[in-house]
């Protein structure tokens, strides 16, 4: 098992199960963990390491379904998951006794092992629990998915250095231009 992609307490199971490809659904899982922490006042899955983390998750959410286990590519991870005791999912209402039932229903939809079955961001925002805060006119969705393929580029170290230096210069020029514009506005106003 591996998965040094996000902060451990909020790390989605598919990252720990060494899925080669994961998507925005990991963010829904993380948001669910943060939401649960807000409801309870402490981290929901405070694992000491990734193995302990996964065990804590299964104590509450049960053993991953067979179709999720079937997607595990690593033999070591597969053996580990299969060696865990079979556990049933615990009702979240038992864990969050004082929480609003609608909050628990939303949390149930966020903390799902199979990322394909996890609630989508737009659906979560439209959930009855979040209705008082939901404003579709102020929640734009990207027209297209961000292309991260540049991360896969196999470039020489010197090329990466030049690219990073260029980004730094661009950043500082934007700040310098904004500062110059602010100074010009102050001069005109004064």
User: Which CATH number characterizes residue 75's domain?
Assistant: 1.10.510.10
Both tokens of 25, joined, read: 């659904």
- Please tell me whether residues 21 and 92 are part of one structural domain: yes
**Residue 189: its pLDDT value, please?**
59
**Residue 51: its pLDDT value, please?**
87
- Please tell me whether residues 27 and 97 are part of one structural domain: yes
- Please tell me whether residues 39 and 59 are part of one structural domain: yes
- Please tell me whether residues 115 and 179 are part of one structural domain: no
**Residue 182: its pLDDT value, please?**
66
Q: How many domains does the chain have?
A: 2
The answer to whether residue 45 is domain-embedded is yes
The answer to whether residue 2 is domain-embedded is no
- Please tell me whether residues 84 and 170 are part of one structural domain: no
**Secondary structure (H, E, C), the chain:** CCCCCCCHHHCCHHHHCCCCCCCCHHHHHHHHHHHHHHHHCCCCCCCCCHHHHHHHHHHHHCCCCHHHHCCCCCHHHHHHHHHCCCCCCCCHHHHCCCCCHHHHHHHHHHCCCCHHHCCCHHHHHCCHHHHHHCCHHHCCCCCCCCCCHHHHCCCCHHHHHHHHHHHHHHHHHHHHHHHHHHHHHHHHHC
The answer to whether residue 53 is domain-embedded is yes
- Please tell me whether residues 166 and 94 are part of one structural domain: no
- Residue 25: band (very low, low, confident or very high) from pLDDT cuts 50, 70, 90: very high
| Residue 90 belongs to domain spanning | 8-138
Span 132-180, pLDDT tens digits: 999 989 988 888 877 777 777 888 999 889 988 888 888 887 655 666 6
pTM of the model: 0.74
- Please tell me whether residues 132 and 158 are part of one structural domain: no
The answer to whether residue 62 is domain-embedded is yes
Span 71-125, pLDDT tens digits: 888 888 899 899 988 999 999 999 999 999 999 999 999 999 999 999 999 999 9
The answer to whether residue 144 is domain-embedded is no
């Amino acid at each position: 098992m591996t998965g040094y992609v996000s902060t451990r307490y909020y790390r989605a199971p598919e990252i720990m199960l060494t899925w080669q490809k994961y998507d925005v659904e990991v963010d829904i899982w993380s948001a669910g963990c943060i939401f649960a922490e807000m409801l309870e006042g402490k981290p929901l899955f405070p694992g000491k390491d990734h193995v302990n983390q996964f065990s804590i998750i299964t104590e509450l959410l049960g053993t991953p379904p067979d179709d999720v286990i079937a997607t595990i590519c690593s033999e070591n991870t597969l053996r580990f998951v299969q060696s865990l005791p079979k556990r049933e999912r615990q009702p979240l209402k038992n864990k969050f006794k004082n929480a609003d039932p609608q909050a628990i229903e939303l949390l149930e939809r966020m903390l799902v092992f199979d990322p394909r079955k996890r609630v989508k961001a737009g659906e979560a925002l439209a959930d009855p629990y979040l209705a008082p805060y939901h404003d579709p006119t102020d929640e734009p969705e990207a027209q297209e998915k961000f292309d991260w393929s540049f991360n896969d580029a196999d470039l020489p170290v010197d090329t990466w250095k030049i690219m990073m230096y260029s980004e730094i210069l661009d950043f500082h020029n934007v700040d310098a231009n904004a500062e110059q514009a602010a100074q010009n506005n102050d001069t005109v106003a004064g």
